[in-house]
Structure 1
Amino acid sequence: MTPRHEETIWLRALARSVTIVLLAVAVIVTGLPGVGEVRAQERPRSILDMLFGGPAVRQPQRAEPPPRRIRREPAPRRQKSTSTRKSGKTKARTTASAPAAAPAVVAKSETARSVLVVGDFLAGTLAAGLEKALAKRPDLKVIDASKGSSGLVRADHYDWPGSLPSLIDKEKPAMVVVMLGSNDRQPIESGSMTLAVRSPEWAASYEQRALALASAVGSKEVPLLWVGMPAFRLNNMTADMAFLNEVYRKAATSVSGEFVDIWDGFVDADGAFSYSGPDIAGQQARLRNEDGITMTDAGRDKLAFFAENPVQRILGTDGSAPAVSEAPSRPVAVANPATATSAPLLALTDPSLDGGDVLLGGVPTADRATVASPRDRLVTAGLPGAKTPGRADDFAWNPKSPAVAPIKTADPVLFRGSVDLGSVMGPKPLVPLSPMPTLADAIIEDWAKGKDSAPSAQPDAVPEAGPREPTVAGAASAVAPAITQPTAPAAPAGGPAR
């Protein structure tokens, strides 16, 4: 064996050993997690992949280490000082989440008069709103006697006309407020008959029940305030409520009560039902719940707002009286304010600026003008104002009087001037006129008169001077002799004819 041959064998053995070592290292490296995938992704693209398409070379993704979680002991809570500065956003969130401050409740006096509220579930909402509205009034209190499922149809469930007198005797209210009708859209059982809703028989029976309820209040000599029903979401329910409001209006006025119409407060500009509307502050708010029947808090306050003013007006209670220093000075009363040429100065806070002397819901004063203004005479009484004689608007010549009326000497048109029209228009005896002769009769009559008055012995006599009144007959006689006079007869014996 030559040295060259031995060197070749040694090189081959060395190459084989290096190859084995490299394979061992590759196996160890490939066994690591994620390395095999990375190596597979790093495989270079061959010429076949370039020609016929193949997997693109993807960049290796480095695995992110999991986030380190460090547990810390909770720090003890410390009271925040009021001087801590907060951002505007945090302050706004805190203010919005804070509950609204409840109105201050004033203790009711022992002599406080009570307002009894009766009806269905809407009457309960009205009672809650009135209680909130009158919370600052120590002289008024609200008694909620409503029954949520009651009405006038189901007398077997609760009979309001029969139960109300005893309830009034028990509570002794200063006035009664009624609001019901939401549960009355159902037939009425009358003996063996069933009356359909809003049929003529149903309407007559329901009206009698409403009148009986109003009479139960009127018999106790207690003021009655009947609050009407609002519009509902369903059209047929809204139509029924509008029909029932007319029944309630008639029942309330039958005992000198008052009907409060709240319809316009819960509809839109077109008169249709609306979930939202202006609240008692004039701001847009949600007034009705999703069912389209019950009220939200804003709707409850608005419902009570419609009834609060009539309640205080009927009971004779006004709002909070102003302080003595803020009380406006009363103006000097004039005989007729509408025709006054001057008036005393008024303060801007004086209620007299709007035509009244007290605030809304207050007691009207008794010292009012005794002389009605021309506007009141025309609008209220339908009487025209005083007119100046002879002016264009003086209609004394055509007063509203019977068809035949005696002539009065005080009439400025008939008895004014140099001619007394009264004597001309006065009664006179009726003298019939002579009949008008025909033309032929007038000619013959005139010709006969002319023949009788012609002179026979004195042919040359001159007629008497003086004007002669021409007549139709005379005018005709001037032509008639020339036409109708016959030839003169022969001369008498004793002389020749001429």
Structure 2
Amino acid sequence: MHEATIGPYIPFMSAERTRKSFSPRRALAAFLLVMAALVMSAPESFAQDPFSDFFGGLFGGGGGGGQRSAPSRPPSQPRVRRMMPHQENRAPTYWRGGEARAPRRAAKRTEGSAATPGAEQTTTAPAVPPSYFVAVMGDTLGILLSNGLQEAFSDKPDIAVLRKGKESSGLVRDDFYDWPKAARELAGGSQKIDVAVMMIGSNDRQTLRQGADALDPLSPKWREIYAARVDAIVAAFKEKKIPVVWVGLPVMKNESYSADMAKLNEIFRDRASANGAVFVDLWEALADERGQYSAFGPDINGQIVKLRSGDGVHFTEAGARSVAHFVASEVKKLYDARKPAEPAPASGQPTATAPAGQDGQPASQTAGHGAPNGAPVVFRSPVAAPVSPAPTLPDRPAIGPTQPLNAVPATAGGELARRTQAAPAADAGAQALTRHVFVEGGDQAPRPNRADDYSWKP
């Protein structure tokens, strides 16, 4: 370091004065003042690590003449601060709703698709475009159901699930989202729909406003208007020949809330039956053996897992997959019913296989398309061949031989029964001993050399 660099910052003092006025505190203050001046006047690269550069130049590290040498490493780049994403509006962990979520069976790049130059590239077969579209509508439960159906049909690329749910929607607040209107737009839109699935109602236990009237939940007038809106949704798809699968609500954790959801299921079941829609009942499927709420239950593999979330209303990922299992079975029935039937063979024309030749080929090919004498080969139906009769059992007479009831052989004396001799009477002493031991509970006198003989032997 040059004297001109540090000279202006150190006051001139004589040796005698310096010796008398030296103190560690003043030396430390002077050192810090020098370092601060160097940091402020040094370039940016030197300011990144002033201590190592200063001491390296002072003691000749990396450069000669006491001057600061050029740094051996490139100047450090400014550190980029990584901000965590804003999670205030993040959906719950059990939620994977919204239109932005891509289906799981989206095409993925293979390992060879992004390989380095010169590496062998692997080609995958083109994905089968979907030809059968299932539109899943509803509230939050409907969105979770669409997640489960996407996993249920992941092995069927020709079936696509259209996520048409609306969070926090229902059939009561048509000012928030008008589902009958949305159903008409979906049914008459350009997007092909083969099956419409609806699961809604978890937000509908509230007052319904009809003009200036405010109807209490589940009142008679409330039920009438609510049922009419269900009919309007089903009719929108029925007009376009699109079958509808209406999914009922499951049992809930809150007993009062669960009782109201059961009443909504009655409306859904009644209107689905009246309009020719399929109703899927989930009440017993997600309840315990007593018909009450249970957060745990068997999944599609039979393992007991948690099916419901902590709020007692929504599904977990495994629960959504279990619910989708019941709905997917109804969708597959409609899917299989739309497949064209295979043409059946014409009746009266039995198919026969030509007899094989010596080399395993049909006789018509081994003999030059005909018999050895040039005559065409005639195929005879095995049905018309004579069949040997099956062995039969000999005929058994309907009535067996008769025997008279009075033809009982009599004894020599003509008696029907003969009196047997009485057993000889037991010894009186044995009878007395038996009564003494088994009736009166007395002891029997021991006999010599018997098990109950406890006498002392010499």
- Compare CA radii of gyration and give the structure with the larger one: 1
Higher relative contact order (CA 8 A, sep 6+): 2
TM-score, length-scaled by structure 1: 0.42
TM-score, length-scaled by structure 2: 0.46
